Amino acid sequence: MIDSSHLAARSRSLALHLLSRLKLRHLAWPLFALAFWYYLSVYGLPYANDVVFLWLMAALIAASVHSGGRRGWLHVLRDWVPVMAVVWAYSLLRGYGAHTPWPPHYAPQIAFDEVLGFGETWTVRLQEWLYHPGDPQWYDYAAVAVYMSHFFAVFVILAVLWKRDHARFRHFLGCYLAMTAIGFATYVLYPADPPWLAGLEHHMPAVDRVVNTVLNDSGLPRAGTIFENGSKFANDVAAMPSLHAAYPMVIALFFWPGAGRKLRVLLAAYPLAMAFTLVYGAEHFIIDILVGWAFAWAMVTLVNRFVARRAAARALEEAVEPAAGPAVPVG
């Protein structure tokens, strides 16, 4: 029979052994999880770009500290702080872009969509067929999930690429920033009403913002605040092109060449699901989505060519240097 005092002594010895092996760096992930849980309980899910960036940076710093790298967190700050600054500046400028000297457009988008819808926009048709105010269906909740993925997908992909393949991280980041820049320029040059605003101004039949309504009715008011107006980042006439549609297409085009069959199914389904969500939810006209897809193809193609030329030039430099050989001393 085992002596209880001996068993207690062995337990204390094992506990001391585990504590001796535990280092401060092992607390990185638990501390991050505790902080994130507290934030979720108080503020809800983060949707603002700058807040999402901060939490991603915190996760990457926690991973770097946990792995034991002494300067890993410095690399996180080096690579991500400039990105966050650019995105924050874009968000601020996007808000100022709502105050252009020329009025927003709505007639061309409505006319184009009415041609595709045989006399009525597809937003109106889909809501007449599918939408039941006060009684959300399963596809309404699916639309909410797809719509909200816009605020996470690109940044999560950037974080994964940063950890696994830094060259691909910079490549994908270039595609994202190029798409964001061309989107902002178009917002300034061509302010455009989304369907819900055009309906509110009586340019077309009134439609509901499905995602906003479902979020508020589901008891997630913090999530619904991303639709509130009056913020310095708000721009209700930034509908052309649809960045909600463009970013999924950027993801699809970027990963398509090296993707397998199953992944390609997901890459193709994501832009289509987002397009349906945006039209059904009255967030964008079909023409907004098509222009967003066209811009995405153009920006990814340009960045791919730039990256390929830089890689070719670097390979040429590396091939020329060995061919030159070491310098031969004279005398």
- Span 5-33, pLDDT tens digits: 666 666 666 555 544 444 556 677 788 78
User: Cα torsion at 58, 61, 67, 68 (round to 10°)?
Assistant: -130
Instruction: Give the mean pLDDT of 260-281.
Output: 96
What residues does 105 pair with on adjacent strands?
192
Residue 65 has what pLDDT? 73
Q: Which two tokens stand for residue 214?
A: 């479902």
The tens digit of pLDDT for each residue in 214-239 reads 988 876 545 444 554 444 556 788 89
- Single out the residue of 193, 177, 2 nearest to residue 106, CA to CA: 193
3-class SS of residue 105: strand
The tens digit of pLDDT for each residue in 74-133 reads 777 777 777 777 777 777 766 666 677 889 999 999 999 999 999 999 999 999 999 999
Q: With a cut of 60, say whether residue 326 has pLDDT above it.
A: no
Angstrom distance (rounded) from CA 79 to CA 84: 9
Q: Which two tokens stand for residue 170?
A: 């910079």
- pTM beyond 0.85, yes or no: no
Angstrom distance (rounded) from CA 80 to CA 56: 9
The tens digit of pLDDT for each residue in 189-220 reads 999 999 999 999 999 999 999 998 998 887 65
Q: What is the CA radius of gyration of the chain?
A: 26
Q: How many residues are given for the chain?
A: 331
Residue 329 has what pLDDT? 56
Contact yes or no for 133/127 (Cβ under 8 A): no
Instruction: Give the mean pLDDT of 272-287.
Output: 97
Residue 194 has what pLDDT? 95
